Amino acid sequence: MRIVVTDFDTEVCKRLEDALSRFTHWLPYWVNEIYIYRQPKDNGGASCRFDKRYRRMCLYVSGELVHSNIEDIEPVFAHEIAHAYNGDICMCLDTYMPTIIKEEGTFELTRAIFMERIEEQTQDLAFLFLDKTEARDG
Ligand SMILES: [Zn+2]
């Protein structure tokens, strides 16, 4: 697993890499690289994107999160890693569903329903990753 962090000073890069490394063993096998970037709009927390063709996860971290306690960063990283298991579903929703569901407002409603369930599943996985990692590593 390769982790690349460049948008922050050396101390922050090391801190982010260490925090993320506690959870990388939970990633699906197709993820070979993680790039951590500063969130362009800095709208809090973190977000992620996946490029399965290149086996890559891009993790976007807010300035606020970077300066938070490690106890606040780890649950966010566990959550973003959990998204690696449903990123394909999100991509399909946004890419293919608008051409399948043409009725006014129906796509938006369908997407909202699916996204809510996806977030619930993601958070369930994140709690599992946090609990098992804490039990394993302390
Ligand atoms: Zn999420």
Q: What is the pLDDT of residue 6?
A: 87
pTM: 0.92
Determine contact, residues 121/89, Cβ cutoff 8 Å.
no
Mean pLDDT of 17-35: 96
- Residue 36 CA to ligand 1 centre (angstroms): 16
Residue 74: Cβ within 10 Å count: 20
- Convert the pLDDT of each residue in 81-91 to its tens digit: 999 999 989 98
Mean pLDDT of 24-33: 96
Taking the C-alpha atoms of residue 58 and residue 48, their distance in angstroms, rounded to an integer, is 5
% of the chain at pLDDT higher than 70: 100
- Residue 106 CA to ligand 1 centre (angstroms): 22
- Residue 88 CA to ligand 1 centre (angstroms): 13
| Structure tokens given for 4 | 């690349």
Q: What is the pLDDT of residue 108?
A: 93
- Residue 127 CA to ligand 1 centre (angstroms): 12
Per the prediction, the chain carries an average pLDDT of 94
How would you class 67 by CB atoms within 10 Å of its CB: exposed for 0-12, middle for 13-18, buried for 19 or more?
exposed
- Residue 119 CA to ligand 1 centre (angstroms): 5
Q: What is the pLDDT of residue 137?
A: 86
Mean pLDDT of 86-111: 92
Considering only CA atoms, which of 59, 61, 66, 20 is closest in space to residue 39?
61
- Residue 77 CA to ligand 1 centre (angstroms): 10
